[in-house]
């Protein structure tokens, strides 16, 4: 199915088409280009997409957006990044989809994936979402540009690490529903305090469509700040959480032997009981935010409950597998994609409930600024409460935690992911459970791949 024609691209961007062509996808990373794609040759500080035009067309690109000479089919523009944003705006303008924007310090990708699964139950094959964690200044317009005109609902993730970023991204997305999953210490290198982080996350509400709904965490100490940020733009503010008074509230959340939870939630005046396949209290919170959004767009809550029961683990965000070892296997919990103090504690609490001997491979948490040593050392009690017997700590910033844990358990402090994989192979035994978590830049996905045997 055609996503964009050269004429539509030219009209959206103000560019000039060299010839007629039609595309079925959009990419700006030449390594991701597939047959029929539009390749947007972005120019950055370290590279220039025009260098990879031949590669993109060798892989099947149908056309390109360019600002330099090329013999390949193209639309020529003055600025390819501005063109990508223009295509994103055109994609948003041509759809009648109900659009949901998701942000938060933690949980936004998990909530986005869960929300997609819930809506897809009601609108099979007609729901669009951001892929991976494409949530920044290039990822958001790319995700919009990939949205088919016939989409019925869209879930777009938006991230930030500086004030003002979400204020711009939300004008591209123009959500009917905007969710803040949680506020926690993340990117604190760029913010004076958590209140400033809440203010920056609250920028998502500025792009709400008329009659839109803002969804905020009831149990957050920044609840009232977020509500105040939403009120000038939202026709309705909905809260979710465990506390009495939340509009969407977990009346009961009972952990099952499988690690799943049986949840009874009140959504407005209705009650819904469902099994939540993903373990951990943080996932109960995610599920409540998701149900609030499902209700806000008028989708089927009962089908959403079924989808939450069938959610699989997300790669890098809770996926589980058995790692082959001599004489048996060890359970691996893959949380390798990212980390901040709040998500570290949440996943360590999940590890605490698992059987067997516990091993934790923990990578340093980045972008925490001057408070980084305190944040790292502050994880010591959570690591001990998780009944960790051996902690493999990765990166220089983990030194304060290594010092805080000294004498409490076996500590292996290593420099990088390669050394962490060697350490994990040395210490793991059949029947163990190992948690792998750290900031994405640490590269602990290589540890996960190595344990999988890939």
The verdict on 165 and 229 lying in the same domain is yes
Rounded to whole angstroms, the Cα distance separating 314 from 359 reads 21
The 10s digit of each residue's pLDDT in 82-122 is: 999 999 999 999 999 999 999 999 889 999 999 999 999 99
What is the CATH number for 180?
3.40.1190.10
Longest dimension (CA), the chain: 70
Structural element, H or E, at residue 57: helix 53-58
Q: Are residues 167 and 304 in the same domain?
A: yes
- My answer on whether 122 and 252 are in the same domain is yes
Shortest CA distance to 37 belongs to which of 27, 52, 47, 28? 27
Residues 108 and 72 in one domain: no
Domain assignment present for residue 166? The answer is yes
- Going by C-alpha positions, the residue among 34, 139, 108 that lies closest to residue 343 is 108
Contact 383, 404 (CB under 8 A): no
Do 50 and 102 share a domain, yes or no?
no
Q: Are residues 129 and 36 in the same domain?
A: no
Q: Do both 258 and 401 map to the same domain?
A: no
Q: Calculate the alpha carbon distances from 324 to 375, 409, 453 in Å.
A: 34, 25, 8
pLDDT value at residue 259? 80
- Residue 450 annotated as part of some ligand binding site: no
User: How many H-runs (helices) and E-runs (strands) does the chain carry?
Assistant: 16, 22
Tokens representing 274 are 């469902």
Q: Is 110 annotated as a binding residue?
A: yes
Q: Which helix (H) or strand (E) holds 253?
A: strand 248-255
Q: Is residue 255 domain-shared with residue 162, that is, in the same domain?
A: yes
Annotate 391-433 with DSSP letters as a single string.
EEEESGGGHHHHHHHBTTBEEEEESSHHHHHHHHHHH--TT-E
Segments forming the whole domain that contains residue 359 = 319-452
The reply to whether 104 sits in an annotated binding site is: yes
Provide the CATH number for the domain around residue 443: 3.90.190.20
b (16+ CB within 10 A) / e for 409-432: bebbbbeebeebbebbeebbeeeb
Question: Is 87 part of a structural domain of the chain?
Answer: no
Identify the domain boundary among 309, 331, 358: 309
Beta bridge mates, 224 = none
Domain count across the chain: 3
199: in domain: yes
Q: Is 316 annotated as a binding residue?
A: no
Q: Is residue 85 part of a domain?
A: no
- Asked which of 255, 278, 309 is the last residue of a domain, the reply is 309
pLDDT of residue 188: 67
Q: Per the domain annotation, does 247 fall within a domain? A: yes
Average pLDDT along the chain = 95
**Residue 378: inside a domain, yes or no?**
yes
CATH of the domain at 42: 3.40.1390.10
- Cβ contact 44:137 at 8 Å: no
142 CB-near residues (< 8 Å, 6+ apart)? 26, 27, 28, 40, 84, 88, 134
Q: Which two tokens stand for residue 120?
A: 């897809």
Confidence at residue 279, expressed as pLDDT on a 0 to 100 scale: 87
Same domain flag for 103 and 182 = yes
Q: Is 6 annotated as a binding residue?
A: no
Q: Is 106 annotated as a binding residue?
A: yes
Is 439 annotated to bind ligand? no
Q: 325 and 305, same structural domain?
A: no
Question: Which pLDDT score is estimated for 162?
Answer: 87
- Tell me the C-alpha distance between 195 and 433, whole Å: 36
Q: State how far the Cα of 68 lies from the Cα of 90, in Å rounded to an integer.
A: 23
Last residue of a domain, one of 260, 275, 309: 309
Note whether 252 and 180 are same-domain residues: yes
Do the domain assignments include residue 149? yes
**Which residues in the chain land under pLDDT 50?**
none
Tell me, yes or no, whether 22 and 116 share the same domain: no
Residue 208 lies in a domain: yes
Task: Print burial letters for 338-363: b (CB count within 10 Å at least 16), e (below 16).
Answer: bbbbbbbbbbbbbbbebeebbbbbbb
Give me the pLDDT at residue 454, please: 55
Question: Could you read off the pLDDT of 369-413 as tens digits, one per residue?
Answer: 899 999 999 999 999 999 999 999 999 999 999 999 999 999 999
């Amino acid at each position: 199915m055609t996503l964009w024609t050269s004429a539509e691209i030219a009209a959206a961007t103000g560019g000039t088409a060299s010839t007629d062509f039609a595309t079925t996808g959009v990419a700006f990373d030449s390594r991701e280009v597939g047959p029929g794609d539009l390749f947007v040759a972005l120019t950055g500080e370290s590279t220039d997409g025009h260098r990879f035009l031949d590669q993109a067309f060798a892989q099947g690109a149908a056309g390109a957006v360019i600002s330099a000479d090329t013999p390949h089919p193209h639309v020529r523009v003055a600025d390819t990044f501005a063109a990508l944003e223009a295509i994103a705006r055109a994609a948003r303008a041509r759809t009648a989809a109900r659009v949901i924007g998701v942000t938060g310090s933690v949980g936004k990708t998990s909530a986005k994936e869960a929300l997609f699964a819930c809506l897809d139950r009601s609108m099979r094959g007609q729901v669009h979402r951001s892929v991976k964690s494409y949530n920044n200044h290039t990822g958001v317009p790319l995700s919009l540009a990939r949205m088919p005109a016939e989409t019925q609902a869209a879930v777009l993730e938006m991230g930030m690490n500086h004030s003002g970023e979400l204020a711009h991204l939300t004008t591209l997305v123009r959500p009917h529903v905007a969710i803040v999953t949680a506020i926690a210490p993340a990117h604190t290198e760029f913010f004076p305090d958590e209140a400033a982080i809440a203010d920056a996350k609250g920028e998502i509400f500025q792009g709400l469509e008329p009659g839109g709904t803002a969804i905020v965490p009831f149990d957050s100490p920044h609840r009232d700040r977020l509500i105040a940020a939403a009120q000038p733009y939202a026709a309705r503010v909905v809260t979710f959480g465990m506390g009495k008074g939340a509009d969407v509230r977990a009346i009961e959340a009972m952990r099952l032997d499988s690690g799943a939870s049986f949840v009874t939630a009140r959504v407005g005046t209705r009650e819904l009981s469902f099994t939540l396949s993903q373990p951990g209290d943080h996932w109960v919170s995610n599920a409540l935010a998701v149900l609030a959004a499902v209700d806000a767009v008028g989708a089927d809550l009962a089908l959403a409950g079924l989808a939450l029961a069938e959610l699989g683990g997300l790669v890098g965000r809770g996926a589980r597998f058995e790692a082959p070892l001599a004489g048996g296997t060890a359970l691996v919990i893959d949380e390798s994609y990212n980390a901040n103090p709040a998500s570290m504690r949440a996943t360590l609490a999940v590890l605490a409930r698992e059987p067997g001997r516990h091993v934790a491979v923990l990578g340093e948490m980045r972008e925490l600024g001057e408070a980084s040593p305190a944040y790292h050392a502050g994880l010591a009690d959570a690591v001990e409460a998780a009944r960790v017997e051996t902690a493999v700590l990765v990166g220089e910033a983990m030194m304060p935690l290594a010092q805080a844990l000294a004498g409490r358990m076996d500590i292996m402090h290593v420099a990088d992911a390669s050394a962490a994989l060697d350490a994990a192979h040395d210490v793991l035994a059949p029947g163990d459970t190992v948690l792998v978590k750290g900031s994405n830049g640490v590269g602990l996905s290589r540890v996960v791949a190595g344990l999988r045997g890939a």
